[in-house]
Amino acid sequence: MRLIESLKRKKFILLNIFFTLYIGINLIGGERGLISYFDKKKIYQDLENKDRILTSKLEDLENKISLIENNDLDYLDMLYREKFRYGTKDEIIIKLK
């Protein structure tokens, strides 16, 4: 009986402790918590880096395509020699890659 009476008197304190713990746990953990924020921030940075890399590759490919479409003889000669390993007898071919 004393336990029930004591709980009735301290009901407000117990509710405050419960709500404080609930808010604290959800602030740190949970779907919208601090840990989730840092995980999503890392994923976002990784995607930004991947976007920059893909954009630079796309610009490089667009440049190569424009050289081919404009019939740039130097670039076409370079492609021909690289793909078919072509060279004349008096040339020395040095592969740098």
Q: Got the DSSP string for 62-91?
A: HHHHHHHHTT-HHHHHHHHHHHHT---TT-
Tell me the pLDDT of the chain averaged across its residues. Answer: 86
Instruction: For residues 10 and 41, state if they share a domain.
Output: no
- C-alpha span between 25 and 55 (Å, rounded): 41
Calpha distance 80→93 (Å, rounded): 13
Examine the domain organization and report whether 4 and 14 are in the same domain.
Answer: yes
Residue 95 maps to a domain: no
Band (84; pLDDT cuts 50, 70, 90): confident
Domain coverage including residue 23:
1-30
Within a domain: residue 94?
A: no
Mean per-residue pLDDT, 24-48? 91
Question: What one-letter code names the amino acid at 14?
Answer: L
What number is the average pLDDT over the span 31-48? 93
